Every structure is written in C-alpha cells, then in structure tokens.
Amino acid sequence: MSPKLETSRRAKPALHWNVERVVSELRALRLNALEQRQKQDRPPKMPSRANLTAVLEGLCAALFPNRLGPPDLTDEGVDYFVGHTLETQLRALFEEIRLELSFASGLTGKGGADHQRRAFEITREFAAHLPEVRRILETDIQAGYQGDPAAKSLDEVLVCYPGTTAIAYHRIAHVLHRLGAPLVARIIAEIAHSETGIDIHPAAQIGGSFFIDHGTGVVIGETAIIGERVRLYQAVTLGAKRFPVDESGVLIKGNARHPIVEDDVVIYAGATILGRITIGRGSVIGGNVWLTRSVPPGSHISQAQVRNELFEAGAGI
C-alpha cells in the first residue's frame, strides 16, 4: 500500500450517527403509538348529550307537568305522570353519571372505585333537591313576568322565554355540579347554550328571582356570584379580565376571576363586566359599558361616564 493511500485513509473523520439514541427514541414512539391505538380501540365512554337532552325535557315536564307535560294530562293523573317520569329520567341520569365517573377514572388511571354506588348516591341526592329547584324557578318565572311589560302571563314566561329555559337548565346543572357530576353538568350547560344562545357555567352561583330578557349572547363565567332579583339583558358578559398562569406557564384553574353582582342589580344590553369586581346592590349598569372596577351600591354607570373616567388627564390614551 502506498504511503499516500494510507495517509488518506487515516485522514477520514470517524462517523458517529448516535444510532443507539435514535433506536431508543423510535422504540419509545412505537410503544406510545401502540398504547394510543389500544386506547382508541376501546376508549372510555362519555355521557351522552342526546340522552341528557331527553333527561332535561323529562325533568322539566315533571317539575311543571301542567305546562310542560303531555297536553291530555288530567288532574287525577298528574302525580302518576310525575312519579313515572321521575323514575324513568332519574334512572337515565344515574347511567350518565356512572359513565362520567368511569370516564374520569379512565383519564386519571385510577381504578377500583365503586362508580355504580357513587352514581346512585349522587342521583338520589339530586332527586331530593328537585323541590327546591322548583321553588326557586317559580321566583325566576315571577321575576320574568314582573320585569317584562310584554309578558302577558306566568305561563308565557315559562313556555316561551329562552331565558327561563336557560335558567331552568342551569338550576339543574348547578346541583349536579355541586354533588360531584361536573361533566354531566357541563354538557347540560352546553345543551342550554345551543338551545338559547345563553352560556352559563354550571358552577356559577345565582340567587333567586333571576331574569334574563331576550338573552342571546349572555355569558356568565364559572366563578361568578349573582345575588337576588338581578336582571340581565342580551349580550351581557360576566367574564374574566385575565388568565393567570403558574411557573410552568400553565393556566391556573378554579381561581375566583369573575364578577360578584349583588342584589337588585340591572345590567343592560351589551355590557361587559370583567374580573373579580363587585357590582354593589341596587346598581344599574348601562348598555355597552366596559367595566373592570368595582362600583358601590346604588351606582348608575353609563358608557359616557366610563369614557370620561378613562380619558381624564390623558389616562387610557
């Protein structure tokens, strides 16, 4: 071999492809893909939106049988209808709650829980709350009749007003959320949203005699607290001003970030109220107001007032 050829061979750099690392990463990807395929083959079942829609209609018919029940219902048959309907719909609700508990267990990897027993307890406790749901809905219907000069009767408010439907569904969803079925509650809230255009998170706390007039575009966030005898108009938002994150940049969940609206407040169309602020008792918030600060009881806030405050001495520019 010539010296020149030997030198050329020695001059070639050693080639290191890090093949071992690539093989290891590919193996991990294959195993992960296999696990995902197995999950997709038999994913945990979720509660059914269609089934819950039927449950809602049945429960509302049981709560108001003479108006939302069958048209041929007689006085003698009311109790039988209510009992039969409740038995049917509570059994269906029990199954959807059981599916939620199983689904949540599958997501977290935790097993061994007696989902059937827990679902039964939640459903039984929910049933015990139905008389109170009916009582508070009566105050909501009365508020709608008193708050709208176009309303000719309480029955009209119950049967025709989308705000009443949204509130009724929220009252049901809120109880389920508190009892430990948040996914079922959230699906119910989205059913109401689809039917009425009113988006109320099931965790929102809302007092009695609550009225939403017209309603389309109303948004009420998760941690909002609303007092007694509050009236909202269309396109009102009770939302969050900002979304704080933790050290890893992940959104912090569940912190109090929505407004507190005290008793006897009226909020007119298009108003946007953001952040954990308090709207004092008896206040009136005008249409299209953008509000991110608390206001004392008895305040009357208009769009012009807010603009004057924002731009005073150059502020807000």
| Strand pairing category for 272-274 and 300-301 | unpaired
* Residues linked to residue 200 through DSSP beta bridges, in sequence order: 220
pLDDT digits (tens, 9 = 90+) for 171-219: 999 999 999 999 999 999 999 999 999 999 999 999 999 999 999 999 9
- Helix (DSSP H) and strand (DSSP E) numbers for the chain: 10, 14
All CATH 1.10.3130.10 domain ranges in the chain, comma separated: 45-106+113-197
**Predicted confidence band of residue 315 (pLDDT cuts 50, 70, 90):** very low
E strand or H helix at 131, and its extent?
A: helix 115-147
Top-confidence residue, 107 or 156: 156
**Predicted confidence band of residue 88 (pLDDT cuts 50, 70, 90):** very high
Say how many C-beta atoms besides its own lie within 10 A of residue 22's C-beta. Answer: 10
Task: Provide the token pair at 70.
Answer: 């069958």
Mean pLDDT for 101-117 is 73
305 touches 311 (CB < 8 A): no
- Which one-letter amino acid corresponds to residue 27? R
Can you give the pTM of this predicted structure?
A: 0.82
Class of domain 217-244+254-317: mainly beta
SS (H, E, C) the chain: CCHHHHHHHHHCCCCCCCHHHHHHHHHHHHHHHHHHHHHHHCCCCCCCHHHHHHHHHHHHHHHCHHHHCCCCCCCCCHHHHHHHHHHHHHHHHHHHHHHHHHHHHHHHCCCCCCHHHHHHHHHHHHHHHHHHHHHHHHHHHHHHHHHCCCCCCHHHHHHHCHHHHHHHHHHHHHHHHHHCCHHHHHHHHHHHHHHHCCEECCCCEECCCCEECCCCCCEECCCCEECCCCEECCCCEEECCCCCECCCCCECCCCCCCCEECCCCEECCCCEEECCCEECCCCEECCCCEECCCECCCCEECHHHHHHHHHHHHCCC
CATH architecture of structural domain 45-106+113-197: Orthogonal Bundle (1.10)
Task: Provide the token pair at 117.
Answer: 């027993």
Task: Provide the token pair at 134.
Answer: 């009916």
Mean pLDDT, the chain, rounded, equals 88
Top-confidence residue, 110 or 122: 122
Please give the pLDDT value at position 125: 97
pLDDT digits (tens, 9 = 90+) for 217-251: 999 999 999 999 999 999 999 999 877 777 777 77
Mean pLDDT for 255-281 is 96
For residue 261, give the nearest of 305, 304, 291, 217 by alpha carbon.
291
Top-confidence residue, 135 or 251: 135
Question: What percentage of the chain exceeds 70 in pLDDT?
Answer: 86
All CATH 2.160.10.10 domain ranges in the chain, comma separated: 217-244+254-317
